[in-house]
Amino acid sequence: MTRTTPERPVDVERLFPELARYRRTATRLHPRPGAPGARDSSVGGPMLWPSDEPWPVCTHPHKRSSGERLEDVRLRRRIEAEEWRRASEAGVRPAWTEAEWEVLASLKRGRHAPWLANTDPIPLLAVAQLYRQDVPDLFGGPADCDVLQVFWCPFDAHGTGHQLALHLRWRRSADVREVLADQPEPVVVGAPGYVPDPCVLHPEQVVEYQYVDLLPDRLRRRMERWEGPEEERDEEAVGYRSDLSIAPGWKVGGFASWHVTDPRPMDCECGQPMEPLLTIATYECDSSTSSWIPVEDRETLEGAIGATSVLVSRDGNLYVFVCPRDPGHPHRLSLQ
Ligand SMILES: [Zn+2]
Ligand SMILES: [Zn+2]
């Protein structure tokens, strides 16, 4: 099934023609639970990974013996999903059976991989695989590569602070003859939010406009006058930030939102301003961005809220910025 973003409630470029200079397309990915294959674009699906190539690993020094078992994370989600299904069929609130309760209570964090020293290589988790043919806004990467593979380490313990480590890999799909059948996974994860549920994608190209605080002052002030004072606006009122500027959810290309930190320059080490390549989102919409819910999901909302189960920041997005000049330059991350 395709996914269709409803037409924006107003034609903002007709109201503010100078916004045309701050327009850009983005491809919303609309991940939904499914069973993708290695030749599909996906979140949390199998990678088109050659059987004779080593799987990417994390060797950065940090603790990797303690956390939750990956299989426990999945078991808990299966039990929860089953309970939601039962409850919604019966029209009641979800409640665990005694047996489920016992299982859930037994799934605990702990030192589940005591054999792992702090620099032992652990397999990275497959996060997303994006084929150029499916995702019109996928940019960067070597010209002859047609698929981008995204991995991360399931611990936030890299660098100073609690940074996550993300790994991007471009490849030529035609080069892959035999796909690695048994794709490695870490035994223990630092946080369950790093574990994506397998999702198929329904890419859809939309138009976005620059984040409000990065527009020229005069334009921004005119827009604020048009929106009216914040305290006088009701919840249904159309807003630039919520309805017209930046699409919520997983996407490729488009603009980044800076609602947590305020805008900061994302420059590559070569001096080139970097561009947001991929947005990894906790939710596809919230109460302020409900106008972006696809037509096909409006009735049930099923799968439209947090289909991937990925949670990288409490309620926000992880932006992966890349250098448009050279795909070999290191990417940078922004959590918003
Ligand atoms: Zn790591
Ligand atoms: Zn660069």
The CB density around residue 18, as the number of other CB atoms within 10 Å, is: 12
What is the model's pLDDT at position 41?
A: 98
Please state, in angstroms and rounded to a whole number, the distance separating the CA atoms of residues 256 and 287: 19
What is the model's pLDDT at position 315?
A: 64
Q: Give me the mean pLDDT over the 70-78 stretch.
A: 97
Instruction: Give 274 Cα–ligand 2 centroid separation in angstroms.
Output: 7
What is the model's pLDDT at position 185?
A: 98
Residues making up the chain, counted from first to last:
336
What is the model's pLDDT at position 268?
A: 96
Instruction: Give 256 Cα–ligand 1 centroid separation in angstroms.
Output: 25
Contact between 316 and 260 (Cβ < 8 Å): yes
Instruction: Give 233 Cα–ligand 2 centroid separation in angstroms.
Output: 43
Res. 51 pLDDT band, cuts 50 70 90: very high
Q: Which residue has the higher pLDDT, 233 or 191?
A: 191
Q: Give me the mean pLDDT over the 240-267 stretch.
A: 94
Res. 283 pLDDT band, cuts 50 70 90: confident
The residue among 42, 39, 35, 41 whose CA lies nearest residue 179 is 39
Q: What residues form DSSP beta bridges with 333?
A: 320
Please state, in angstroms and rounded to a whole number, the distance separating the CA atoms of residues 64 and 114: 9
Closest ligand to C-alpha of residue 274 is 2
Q: Which residue has the higher pLDDT, 81 or 68?
A: 68
Instruction: Give 109 Cα–ligand 2 centroid separation in angstroms.
Output: 40
Res. 303 pLDDT band, cuts 50 70 90: low
Res. 260 pLDDT band, cuts 50 70 90: confident
Instruction: Say which range, 19-23, 190-194, 200-204, 324-328, has the weakest mean pLDDT.
Output: 324-328
Instruction: Give 322 Cα–ligand 1 centroid separation in angstroms.
Output: 21
Closest ligand to C-alpha of residue 321 is 2
Q: What string of DSSP letters covers 148-199?
A: EEEEE-SS--BTTTTB--EEEEEE-GGG--SB-SS----SEES-GGG-PPPE
Closest ligand to C-alpha of residue 166 is 1
The residue among 262, 250, 240, 244 whose CA lies nearest residue 319 is 250
Whether the per-residue pLDDT at 190 is higher than 80: the answer is: yes
The residue among 214, 206, 222, 215 whose CA lies nearest residue 15 is 222
Collect all residues with Cβ–Cβ distance below 8 Å to 229 and sequence separation of at least 6. Answer: none
Q: HEC string of 238-265?
A: CCHHHHHHCCCCCEEECCCCCCCCCCCC
| Pair of tokens at residue 334 | 């922004």
| Torsion sign over Cα 192, 281, 48, 35 | positive
Contact between 166 and 331 (Cβ < 8 Å): yes
Whether the per-residue pLDDT at 88 is higher than 90: the answer is: no
What 8-state DSSP symbol labels residue 312? S
CA distances from 311 to 1, 197, 208, 284 (A): 25, 11, 24, 12
What is the model's pLDDT at position 326?
A: 92
Whether the per-residue pLDDT at 261 is higher than 90: the answer is: no
Res. 22 pLDDT band, cuts 50 70 90: very high
Mean pLDDT of the chain: 93
The CB density around residue 336, as the number of other CB atoms within 10 Å, is: 17
Instruction: Give 270 Cα–ligand 2 centroid separation in angstroms.
Output: 4
Please state, in angstroms and rounded to a whole number, the distance separating the CA atoms of residues 158 and 82: 35
pLDDT tens column, 126-169: 999 999 999 999 999 999 999 999 999 999 989 877 789 999 99
Q: Which residues surround ligand 1, an ion (CB under 5 A)?
A: 58, 60, 153, 155
| Pair of tokens at residue 135 | 């995702």
Instruction: Give 120 Cα–ligand 2 centroid separation in angstroms.
Output: 31
Whether the per-residue pLDDT at 30 is higher than 90: the answer is: yes
Instruction: Give 167 Cα–ligand 2 centroid separation in angstroms.
Output: 17
User: What is the residue extent of each domain of the chain?
Assistant: 1-31+202-336, 36-67+109-199
Burial, 220: exposed, middle or buried (Cβ in 10 Å; 0-12, 13-18, 19+)?
A: middle
Res. 285 pLDDT band, cuts 50 70 90: confident
Instruction: Give 162 Cα–ligand 2 centroid separation in angstroms.
Output: 25
What is the model's pLDDT at position 270?
A: 97
Please state, in angstroms and rounded to a whole number, the distance separating the CA atoms of residues 176 and 31: 25
